[in-house]
Amino acid sequence: MSRYFRIMEMFLHHVQISGPVGCEDAMRAFYVGVLGMAEVPKPGRLQARGGVWFRAGAAELHVGIEEGIVPARKAHPGIAVADVDAVARAVEAAGAPVTWDDNIPGLGRFHTADPVGNRLELQQAAPPA
């Protein structure tokens, strides 16, 4: 423990990814229509910037508009889901790639890309204790 900070409870509130101008409808179709997330209204002062926010459980994913976006090839949000096989089928049915990764023994997980090329990892959530 740092001598300057006391340990406090923390959790990740959101991850921001980038998208090009005008991508909002395609992102809604993917994150809501395929992954089943809910759209979260952006605060009024932030709406003029464009972009769109999504939530699933306590976690949020924010899409911010960026000119000249170059999606990261390695950086990505990791999303735990109740049924990774069902999500993989939905992602494949939507025409997005599904690349399974067995580098962590016993963990079902795959990588895909959203409509603008952002890399995503989806993995099986641990069963409730």
Q: Which of 53, 64, 60, 55 is nearest to 18 (CA)?
A: 64
Domain ranges of the chain: 14-67+76-124
Query: What pLDDT sits at residue 105?
Result: 93
Mean pLDDT of 114-122: 97
The CA distance from 31 to 53, in Å, is 10
**pLDDT more than 70, % of the chain:** 93
What single-letter amino acid sits at 81? V
Query: What pLDDT sits at residue 42?
Result: 95
Tokens 């009024």 correspond to 44
Kindly report, residue by residue over 10-57, the tens digit of the pLDDT: 788 899 999 999 999 999 999 999 999 999 999 999 999 999 999 998
Are 76 and 85 in contact, with CB atoms under 8 Å apart? no
Where does residue 102 rank: exposed (0-12), middle (13-18), buried (19+ CB within 10 A)?
Answer: exposed
Query: What pLDDT sits at residue 58?
Result: 85
Mean pLDDT of 94-120: 96
Please give the CATH architecture assigned to the domain spanning 14-67+76-124: Roll (3.10)
Query: What pLDDT sits at residue 102?
Result: 95
Longest CA span, the chain: 52
For the entire predicted model, the pTM comes to 0.89
Query: What pLDDT sits at residue 5?
Result: 65
The CA distance from 88 to 124, in Å, is 11
Instruction: Tell me the C-alpha to C-alpha distance, in Å, between residue 60 and each of 79, 92, 101.
Output: 10, 23, 24
